């Protein structure tokens, strides 16, 4: 078998079989197939596409290119969730303790962020001493004993995906539905969960700007998971404006803690309850949305979800006192309101711009080597549909550098559009794929 022949076959619209896909992925992972040939294949796939069987075979070949985590020693159904990401997306911080407090086993691998804010691991490191650098044995023990553990993705997990994504990133072949779906699902399948709930974002601050594309991606990933023997559901959620009010690592942790106390923003709470409901149903702990959401509300009201977060943080070396006293979390030196220039209704918030403002303040990474400032960020005071008077705060900027704060002020003010007419905010949940 020759890579040249496979490139020509796909270029001409042919369908690659499982053996051909595995030859390609194994050869590339081992360094036997050069970048220039795999680049040509990625471009052929970009233009010619892949059918459902090809996409499943590609996903499984990438998942099996390295370690497949064995979670069989964890009692009960293991449920994982994945978000395609967005501005202010701190869902795992509140959702996983809620679901674990209901009895679902959460064994999750997460990464660091590259972009406007940190990833789940960066945010969790706002807790003094917290570490995701734990052994697989401790990871499994924590899930069995506490019900939740989060560790960093190992180098051995889906190495083909890391290589392919880096190549796609520099060859303009990222934006292909099959390649996106297989990239996400290869890591999820390798991580060993029995059931997976996907949170696929849509809107101006999401990778999938169009709702129809978000549904297509969700359907593709759900299909891949089911073909691989996993229980699957997907939630399509809004990212036309930041999720919740806080954008920035420690600020998002504080908002997650507030949500576990029943004091979180309406949109963020609704999303957590919806995804959590899917996780409970897939695990067999609830028969329908109503029953699942009642269980989730009860663990918030009785404090067991907050206690679960504290136990999880402590088990991974963190200071659990910060869960009960969030004022102990990292704080910025400069806390500065951004005032509205006129009266009116918030018509639009440029989601990506809010994320860039957090990045400017130091809340994200421009390169993998960038050091994150966990204390900085933005807390929105007004969102789409809200009325604001001239001189009222639109947002509060948390900064440690006066010059960065000034740049952030200009861009954040430009991100807001104020109108004389009230615009209804769209629904947070755009739909479900089962």
Residue among 313, 320, 330, 326 nearest 150 (CA):
313
Catalytic center residues: 82, 161, 168, 183, 187
Cβ burial, residue 266 (10 Å; 0-12/13-18/19+):
exposed
The CATH number fitting domain 3-49, selected from 1.20.970.10, 3.40.50.300, 2.130.10.10, 3.30.70.3340: 1.20.970.10
CA distance readout (Å), 190 to 125, 151, 217, 254: 25, 14, 19, 31
Strand runs labelled E in 240-327: 246-247
What pLDDT, on the 0 to 100 scale, is given for residue 155? 66
Query: Over its length of 434 residues, how does the chain's per-residue pLDDT go in tens digits?
Result: 999 999 999 999 999 999 999 999 999 999 999 999 999 999 999 999 999 999 999 999 999 999 898 899 998 899 999 998 889 999 999 999 999 999 999 988 887 765 666 688 889 999 999 999 898 899 999 999 999 999 887 668 899 998 998 899 889 998 899 999 999 999 999 999 999 999 999 998 888 899 999 999 999 999 999 999 999 999 999 999 999 999 999 999 999 999 999 999 999 999 999 999 999 999 999 999 999 999 999 999 999 999 999 999 999 999 999 999 999 999 999 999 999 999 999 999 999 999 999 999 999 877 767 789 999 999 999 999 999 999 999 999 999 999 999 999 999 999 999 999 998 878 999 999 99
Q: What is the DSSP letter of 232?
A: E
Beta bridge pairs of residue 365: 115
CA distance 395 to 382: 7
CA distance readout (Å), 174 to 164, 169, 177: 10, 6, 9
Q: Domain spanning 331-419 has what CATH number?
A: 3.90.1170.30
Sequence-ordered list of residues with C-beta below 8 angstroms from that of 2, at least 6 positions apart, any chain: none
Residue with tokens 């949305």: 289
Q: Where are the domains of the chain?
A: 3-49, 79-324, 331-419
Q: Is 0.85 topped by the overall pTM?
A: yes
Sequence-ordered list of residues with C-beta below 8 angstroms from that of 183, at least 6 positions apart, any chain: 62, 161, 164, 165
Contact, 107 vs 80, CB < 8 A?
yes
Residue among 382, 392, 378 nearest 422 (CA):
382
Q: Domain spanning 79-324 has what CATH number?
A: 3.40.1030.10
- The alpha carbons of the chain give a radius of gyration, in whole angstroms, of 22
């Amino acid at each position: 078998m020759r890579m040249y022949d496979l490139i020509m076959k796909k270029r001409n619209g042919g369908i690659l079989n499982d053996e051909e896909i595995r030859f390609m992925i194994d050869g590339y992972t081992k360094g036997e197939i050069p970048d220039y040939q795999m680049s040509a294949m990625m471009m052929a796939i970009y233009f010619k596409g892949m059918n459902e069987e090809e996409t499943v075979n590609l996903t499984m070949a990438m998942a099996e290119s390295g370690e497949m985590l064995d979670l069989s020693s964890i009692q009960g159904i293991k449920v994982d969730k994945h978000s395609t990401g967005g501005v202010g997306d701190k869902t795992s911080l509140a959702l996983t303790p809620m679901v674990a407090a209901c009895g679902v086993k959460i064994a999750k691998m997460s990464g660091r962020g590259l972009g406007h804010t940190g990833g789940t691991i960066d945010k969790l490191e706002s807790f003094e001493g917290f570490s995701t650098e734990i052994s697989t044995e401790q990871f499994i023990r924590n899930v069995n004993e506490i019900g939740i553990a989060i560790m960093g993705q190992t180098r051995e997990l889906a190495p083909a995906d890391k290589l392919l994504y880096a190549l796609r990133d520099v060859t303009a072949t990222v934006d292909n539905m099959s390649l996106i779906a297989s990239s996400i699902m290869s890591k999820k399948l390798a991580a060993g969960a029995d059931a997976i709930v996907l949170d696929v974002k849509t809107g101006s601050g999401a990778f999938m700007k169009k709702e129809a594309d978000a549904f297509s991606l969700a359907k593709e990933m759900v299909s891949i998971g089911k073909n691989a023997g996993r229980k699957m559901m997907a939630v399509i959620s809004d990212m036309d404006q930041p999720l919740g009010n806080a954008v920035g690592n420690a600020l998002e942790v504080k908002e997650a803690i507030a949500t576990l106390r029943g004091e979180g923003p309406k949109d963020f709470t609704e999303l957590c309850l919806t995804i959590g409901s899917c996780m409970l149903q897939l695990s067999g702990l609830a028969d329908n949305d109503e029953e699942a959401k009642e269980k989730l509300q009860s663990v918030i009201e009785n404090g067991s979800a907050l206690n679960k977060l504290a136990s999880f943080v402590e088990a991974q070396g963190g200071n659990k006192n910060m869960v009960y006293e969030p004022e102990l979390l990292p704080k910025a030196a400069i806390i500065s309101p951004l005032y509205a220039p006129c009266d009116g209704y918030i018509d639009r918030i440029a989601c990506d711009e809010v994320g860039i403002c957090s990045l400017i303040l130091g809340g994200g990474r421009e390169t993998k080597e960038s050091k994150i400032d966990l204390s900085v960020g933005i807390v929105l005071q007004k969102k789409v549909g809200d009325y604001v008077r001239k001189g009222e705060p639109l947002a509060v900027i948390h900064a440690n550098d006066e010059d960065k704060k000034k740049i952030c002020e200009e861009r954040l003010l430009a991100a807001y559009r104020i109108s004389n007419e009230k615009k209804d905010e769209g629904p947070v949940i755009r739909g479900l794929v089962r």
